[in-house]
Amino acid sequence: MIRPGATLGVLGGGQLGLFFVLSARRMGYKTVVLDPDPTAPAMAAADRSIVSPYDQEKSLRDLSESCAAITTEFESVPARSLEFLADRGVVRPSPLSVATCQDRILEKNFLSKNGFSTAPFLVVSRESPPSPVTVQPLLPGILKTAREGYDGKGQWPVGCVEDLTRLLSSAPGPFVLEKRLDLAREFSLLIVRGADGETRLYPVAENVHEGGILHLSSVPADLSHDLIKEIRDIGTAIAHTLDYTGILAVEYFLDRSGGLFVNELAPRPHNSGHYTMDACLASQFDQQVRTLCGLPLASTTLLSPCAMGNILGNLWSGTTPPDFTAILRHPQAKLTLYGKASPRPGRKMGHFTVLGPSARESVATAHSLLANLSQKSPVQSVQGDTGPVVADR
């Protein structure tokens, strides 16, 4: 057990790193953040910052020697860097867990090999183009980059074999071609798992996306007892199979025929779990500190139904933020901004949580508050995304 007073490290200084640092400080720990961006939000709250690429050995050694334990706020940190740190101290989640989740090919193969249902998929690349006969059952589909792409980036619709040929000719890949499901709803589950295998689950969240970016989450999801049990059982089994330690988010698709599929895994706190900061006894970031330090896990009890809305950079006029008066005036709403200096379309700048007597009423209020904020057109949809994959934290 790593007790308060020790120093904890985090790779990544985005909003997830910021909230980890704030939880750690509140619990009596010192913190060090390593990030290549000197303006990263977490650096303003940490005791010390290391401005460095994630693969610079000198900086990694500094971080290791400064900290009793180290975690990460995002999955794209180089696995070799995590392995370097793990050879010298406590790193949670494990480098293997992060490496599995940061590569869609490894992730899909892990899920498929262990019997977890996913949308039908195929690994493709320019060097190994698939035959039309192999591709046809997956159409219409979505072509996804194996690494880095998220929030709708690095994803392209594929309607026919010619579309796939054209896309592969423009980039070597590798990619995952995934059959487009007839989606009805989307969900996520936050799993807390300690090094001793103790596991606790937060309530299932229902998520609505716009342009591939999370728009709104509501908790608890309005689902049958059997479907909630299935979601929880699958998530628990995934965490156990990975021998995972930390916070793991599992995203699910439900198709119109009632089929449940695992979409993606996130080896870290998750955007859809921000409601835990305001509506739960302990937040996902409190649990991240606890699992990192080997402390007893806290309760995942939901204190109130709620809805959480994302606030994107589309709403800024240059560097001028939108008018948050309606959110600030609402007695059941709580606004959280991330302190990012450079707003841009699609960038997550903050969120707000609405507590209410039911998830449905909270969603209605959140929709009203989001509509009040809207000043510009929605972010470009996934179907139209032809831009490069960029980190947006």
Instruction: Please tell me the predicted confidence (pLDDT) of residue 386.
Output: 34
CA neighbor of 300 nearest in space, from 278, 321, 283: 283
Coil, strand or helix: which one is 39?
coil
In total, the chain counts a number of residues equal to 393
Which structure tokens are listed for 121? 């998929």
Q: What is the pLDDT of residue 147?
A: 86
Distance of alpha carbon 293 from its chain centroid, rounded? 22
Query: What CATH architecture applies to the domain 183-383?
Result: 2-Layer Sandwich (3.30)
Hey, is 240 helix, strand or coil? helix
d(CA 143, CA 163): 10
149 pLDDT band, cuts 50/70/90, is low
Top-level CATH class of 7-91? alpha beta
| 68-87 tens-digit pLDDT | 999 999 999 998 999 999 99
Query: How far is the C-alpha of 54 from the C-alpha of 123, rounded, in Å?
Result: 28
Q: Is the pLDDT of residue 379 over 50?
A: no
Contacts of 51 (CB under 8 A, 6+ apart): 35, 36, 37, 38, 43
For position 126, what pLDDT does the model report? Answer: 87
Burial of 241 (0-12, 13-18, 19+ CB in 10 A): middle
Whether the per-residue pLDDT at 4 is higher than 50: the answer is yes
Burial of 172 (0-12, 13-18, 19+ CB in 10 A): exposed
What burial class does residue 205 get, using C-beta atoms within 10 Å of its C-beta: 0-12 exposed, 13-18 middle, 19+ buried? buried
Which band of pLDDT confidence, cut at 50, 70 and 90, is reported for residue 341? Answer: confident
Q: How far is CA 54 from the centre of its chain?
A: 19
Cβ neighbours around 62 below 10 Å, total:
17
Return the exposure string of 133-164: e unless at least 16 CB atoms fall within 10 Å of the residue's CB, then b.
Answer: eebeebbebbbbbbebbbbbbbbbbbeebebb
Percent pLDDT > 70 in the chain is: 94
Query: The whole model's pTM is what?
Result: 0.93
Instruction: Specify the pLDDT at position 246.
Output: 98
Distance CA 19, CA 316 (A): 23
Give the pLDDT of residue 300: 98
Q: What is the pLDDT of residues 24-55, one digit of tens each?
A: 999 999 999 999 999 999 999 999 999 999 99
What are the pLDDT digits (tens) for 99-133? 999 999 999 999 999 999 999 999 999 888 889 99
State in Å, rounded, how far the first CA of the chain is from the last one. Answer: 31
What per-residue confidence (pLDDT) applies to 377? Answer: 37
Q: What pLDDT is attached to residue 180?
A: 96
Q: Is the domain 120-179 a CATH 3.50.4.10 member? A: no
The residue extents of the domains of the chain are 7-91, 120-179, 183-383
pLDDT at 129: 80
For residue range 263-288, list pLDDT tens digits in order. 999 999 999 999 999 999 999 999 99
pLDDT above 60 for 384: no
Nearest residue to 263 (alpha-carbon basis) of 197, 329, 179, 364:
179
DSSP 137-193: GG-SEEEEESBS--TTTTEEEE-SHHHHHHHHHH----EEEEEPP-EEEEEEEEEEE
Provide the pLDDT for residue 381.
35
